[in-house]
Structure 1
Amino acid sequence: MHTDRERCLRAVRSKDARFDGWFFTAVLTTGIYCRPSCPVVPPKPQNMVFHPSAAACQQAGFRACKRCRPDTSPGSPEWNQRADLVARAMRLIADGVVDREGVPGLATRLGYSTRQIERQLLAELGAGPLALARAQRAQTARLLIETTALPMAEIAFAAGFASVRAFNDTVREVYALAPTALRARRTPRQPTAPATSPTGTSPAGTPTALSLRLPFRAPLNPDNLFGHLAATAVPGVEEWRDGAYRRTLRLPYGHGIVALTPQPDHIACRLTLSDVRDLPVAITRCRRLLDLDADPVAVDDQLRTDPVLAPLVDKAPGRRVPRTVDEAEFAVRAVLGQQVSTAAARTHAARLVTAHGDPVDDPEGGLTHLFPAAGALAALDPASLAMPRTRRTTFTTLVGHLADGTLRLGVDSDWQETRARLLQLPGFGPWTVDVIAMRALGDPDAFLPTDLGIRRAARDLGLPATPAALTARAAAWRPWRAYAVQYLWATDSHPINFLPV
């Protein structure tokens, strides 16, 4: 979008928050860059240039605006609605792969050369993978500076910098302030977590606790989003408590517990981490879980073109697709949920969690385990599974492929290729594959024409009843059929459609 100058100028003049994260405005006369909705008086058009990413602005020598804090914008919805190389690379960078494995590790995961990845990212985003990862490290550093009492050296370590000097230089360059000055500017109301040791825990062994706000593009309807997560929550791993969805997280350096609470203009996020190096990955996975980088206006405008869906959208706009923090976990749970009730699926999953999950200590007492890793599930005795023989075969085949690496499910998955591989597994039909594509892989156009709830909604709304005819009718909803599924599901009285009380 940044190449459409007139459209960008209109968004800046109207301070349109819907475009935050789509592009960034760099001001030639001040040397700063802003989000489109920055509250300051817009500069003259001839003094504005537009960039596709914060990293591109930083690479061009611009500093982040202290007023609108463009580095905290919602992420571009482009990266979650596409499955090409650039989008998959951006999802991996957000998941911390460059910091942990370097650019060669990113290239290996994507199956391309480092040169090809550099070239495509530069062409579309104006910055290469190292610059994009550096911008993310700067944002993480700022968050830790402003919300914790961590010593600066430990913040540098936690944010992924190779040295304190690199941390100091980056913060000064991006924010035009030294780290200590940035901390001094925080408001008294900003909470701070206690100082911690280099492993991310306090001397007494208490995990680091952080409170932050997750922005989103309005509107956001939390009913089906949190209702679905709460209704399908696996005991010990997830729960709904005091207006918040809470769950355990398996992370690269350790584990965490998150509590997510819907607010009118943000999602309140409380994170407890065994290692603060996992902070950026935890934030990214929580945003992905709640589909916070979606563009609800674009989605709803497209669905409103269908006169059957228009009243559903107008009644409750801004529905999101509830996703996952762990793609392999969701695939396992999808198999457990085949042809059984939601309650039965939760019971099956809870038994596996108790027997094979890694124990965690929850200060609030409600959560007990991480969901079992694929390796642990592949080692279990199939006879211990209380399910029909055919589903047992489906389950053991899936976890076996996940454990030995012959099937990889992640943010870097090619949607169509992964669909084809899943369909080759015994017991995987179109419903299971597409629900994994929708909620685990993040395909915004995944569709479930054979789902009982969808067929019931179609019948009640006068839509075609057969899967083939419904699929043909749904062509008009592309590329947002996964969101149409949420609106159709919402016509039912199932608990997944209501925010718990």
Structure 2
Amino acid sequence: MELDFERCYRAVDSRDQRFDGWFYTGVTSTGIYCRPSCPATTPKRRNVRFFPSAAAAQSAGLRACRRCRPDAAPGSPEWDVRADVVGRAMRLIADGVVDRDGVPGLATRLGYTERHLHRMLRAELGAGPLALARAQRAQTARILIETTGLGMAEIAFAAGFGSVRQFNDTVREVYAAAPSQLRVARGGRPTPGGAGTITLRLAYRPPLHAAALLDFLALRALPGVEEVRDGTYHRGLRLPHGAAEVALTPADGHVSATLRLADLRDLAPAVARCRRLFDLDADPAAVDGTLAADPALAPAVAAEPGVRLPRAVDGLEMLVRAVATQQVSLASARTTLTRLLPPAATDGGLRGFPGAEELLALPDEAFRMPAARRETIRAAARAAADGSLDLDPGGDREEAARRLLALPGIGAWTAGYVAMRALGDPDVGLTTDLAVRRGAAALGLPHDPSTLDAYAGRWRPWRSYAVIRLWRAA
């Protein structure tokens, strides 16, 4: 990734928050790196270097600024939407794949050799996969230090470090302070909530239209799995090391996230899923700027800036829900899907959606739907279980589309919907969707599928966001 010095320096000089997460500012005279919006005095040009990732800045020997906390900046929109290998790798690293499976596991998931993957990441991000994962572990450790009452040894292993010594050395190097000093600096008052409960702030680029996000999720909420109540979205999760519950409340400049984890090693994957679900790494200025150039969409963009693309916490879940919704109402699909869920938790809490193995173990009676649709879900579950269908955030979008369309009962609409919500493709038109066509008609746009498809070319590369606005217009 090439960074234009003049453009970056102007962003730093103006303290433009829109660039937080796009790049990091290293100041060689002080030995620290900052986010572009850091309120500190603008450094002299000769002392400035720009980095595409926090890991690259750390590899250059710089430590994180204690004032602007660059490690807590929103994620880069580029890595969030890119469909190439580097973008996929970044999403998998954020999901904790390196901590669980090592670099060989990451390379295998992406279909490249470790050496070639390292070379690509170094060229784009200035750091290899281990350094990128290390930077994430340091951030996870800081969250646990400052927001929980866990002992340092527990935090070390929960954050993914191999030893307490490695944890101590990394924290000192990245933050220029011992772990105990970070806890004292925050007042030593962990957030209440009990063992395994963590509350933190998830940053985003403003604006964020919270009502549109919550309305969308509430309309499709599956009882026992998720609910929207009093301005907060609650849902159960299945994570690599156990179950979890999350409560997400949009606020000014951040989303408050309260996570109840069965295993604290799942903190980073849980945060990655929450950010993905609420589309918190999007660049709303870029999206709205493109859509507002269309006179038909301009009034809606002006009235509701920052409408996001609600995503998914699990790709197979999104595919099953899309199949169950085919040719039926949302209310009917909700009733059908509820029958696939495991028994409710004894404490009344929310649970995660069944995984591939659980779906395959269900009897025919659990699928209150046509037999063909039931077999479509089972075929998808088998493909997910044997690894031939990858709908995780690091999945190849083109390959996933080919494999989806090869499954019986999967057509272009279902494949496009899954690409949009599960794989985060920002440029899916869904112009055959009835609600999209109704929304287009309501705005005075062409609503014949082929004509609308041609018209939608002006919304590239953000057609998925236009779909959300057309659904709202409908």
> TM-score, normalising length from structure 1?
0.92
Residue of structure 2 aligned with 1:268, choices 243, 250, 256? 256
* 8 Å contact from structure 2 (residues 239, 270) kept in 1: yes
Q: In the TM superposition, what are the counterparts of 1:352-363 in structure 2 within 5 Å?
A: 352-353=340-341, 357=342, 360=345, 362=347
Corresponding residue number in structure 2 for 1:309: 297
SS at 1:211 equivalent: strand
Q: In the TM superposition, what are the counterparts of 1:148-297 in structure 2 within 5 Å?
A: 148-187=148-187, 191-192=191-192, 194=194, 207-297=195-285
Corresponding residue number in structure 2 for 1:458: 440
User: Deviation at 1:359?
Assistant: 5.3
SS at 1:286 equivalent: helix
Corresponding residue number in structure 2 for 1:11: 11
Corresponding residue number in structure 2 for 1:26: 26
Matched, 1:336 2:324: yes
Matched, 1:87 2:75: no
Q: How many angstroms apart in 1 are the aligned matches of 2:164 and 2:192?
A: 21
SS at 2:269 equivalent: helix
Q: 1:119 to 1:220 in 2, by over 3 A?
A: same
Q: How many angstroms apart in 1 are the aligned matches of 2:6 and 2:407?
A: 50
For 2:367, the aligned partner's letter is L
For 1:158, the aligned partner's letter is A
SS at 1:428 equivalent: coil
Which segments of 5 or more consecutive residues in structure 1 lack a partner in the other structure? 195-206, 493-501
CA deviations 1:20-54 (Å, max 9, x no partner) are 00000000110000000001111112211100000
Q: How many angstroms apart in 2 are the aligned matches of 1:411 and 1:75?
A: 14
SS at 1:329 equivalent: helix
For 2:250, the aligned partner's letter is P
Corresponding residue number in structure 1 for 2:133: 133
Q: How many angstroms apart in 2 are the aligned matches of 1:254 and 1:161?
A: 19
Q: How many angstroms apart in 2 are the aligned matches of 1:360 and 1:80?
A: 34
Corresponding residue number in structure 2 for 1:427: 409
For 2:384, the aligned partner's letter is L
CA deviations 1:281-313 (Å, max 9, x no partner) are 100110000000000001111111211111111
Corresponding residue number in structure 2 for 1:437: 419
Number of residue equivalences: 474
User: Deviation at 1:65?
Assistant: 0.3
* 8 Å contact from structure 1 (residues 34, 64) kept in 2: yes
Corresponding residue number in structure 2 for 1:483: 465
Q: How many angstroms apart in 2 are the aligned matches of 1:328 and 1:392?
A: 14
SS at 2:369 equivalent: coil
SS at 1:411 equivalent: coil
Q: How many angstroms apart in 2 are the aligned matches of 1:253 and 1:179?
A: 25
Q: 1:273 to 1:304 in 2, by over 3 A?
A: same
User: Deviation at 1:393?
Assistant: 2.7
For 1:309, the aligned partner's letter is L
Q: How many angstroms apart in 1 are the aligned matches of 2:280 and 2:408?
A: 34
Q: How many angstroms apart in 2 are the aligned matches of 1:101 and 1:285?
A: 18
CA deviations 1:146-201 (Å, max 9, x no partner) are 0011000110010000000000000000000000011000047762555xxxxxxx
Q: How many angstroms apart in 2 are the aligned matches of 1:23 and 1:344?
A: 46
Q: How many angstroms apart in 1 are the aligned matches of 2:390 and 2:45?
A: 47
Q: 1:255 to 1:64 in 2, by over 3 A?
A: same
User: Deviation at 1:401?
Assistant: 2.1
* 8 Å contact from structure 1 (residues 63, 173) kept in 2: yes
Q: How many angstroms apart in 2 are the aligned matches of 1:2 and 1:406?
A: 35
Corresponding residue number in structure 2 for 1:349: 337
User: Deviation at 1:436?
Assistant: 0.4
Residue of structure 2 aligned with 1:417, choices 399, 412, 416? 399
* 8 Å contact from structure 1 (residues 2, 50) kept in 2: no
SS at 1:331 equivalent: helix
Q: How many angstroms apart in 1 are the aligned matches of 2:389 and 2:120?
A: 26
* 8 Å contact from structure 2 (residues 339, 366) kept in 1: no
Q: How many angstroms apart in 1 are the aligned matches of 2:296 and 2:270?
A: 38
Q: How many angstroms apart in 1 are the aligned matches of 2:383 and 2:150?
A: 41
Identity across matched positions, percent: 60
Q: 1:43 to 1:309 in 2, by over 3 A?
A: same
Corresponding residue number in structure 1 for 2:384: 402
Q: How many angstroms apart in 2 are the aligned matches of 1:253 and 1:418?
A: 26
Residue of structure 1 aligned with 2:362, choices 356, 361, 380? 380
Corresponding residue number in structure 2 for 1:67: 67
Q: How many angstroms apart in 2 are the aligned matches of 1:448 and 1:427?
A: 17
SS at 2:101 equivalent: helix
SS at 1:490 equivalent: helix
User: Does 46-55 or 406-415 show the bigger shift?
Assistant: 406-415
For 1:419, the aligned partner's letter is A
Q: 1:156 to 1:193 in 2, by over 3 A?
A: farther
CA deviations 1:322-352 (Å, max 9, x no partner) are 0111111111111111111111111111111
Corresponding residue number in structure 2 for 1:37: 37
Q: How many angstroms apart in 1 are the aligned matches of 2:46 and 2:111?
A: 42
Q: How many angstroms apart in 2 are the aligned matches of 1:218 and 1:258?
A: 22
Q: How many angstroms apart in 2 are the aligned matches of 1:306 and 1:220?
A: 21
CA RMSD between the two structures? 1.5
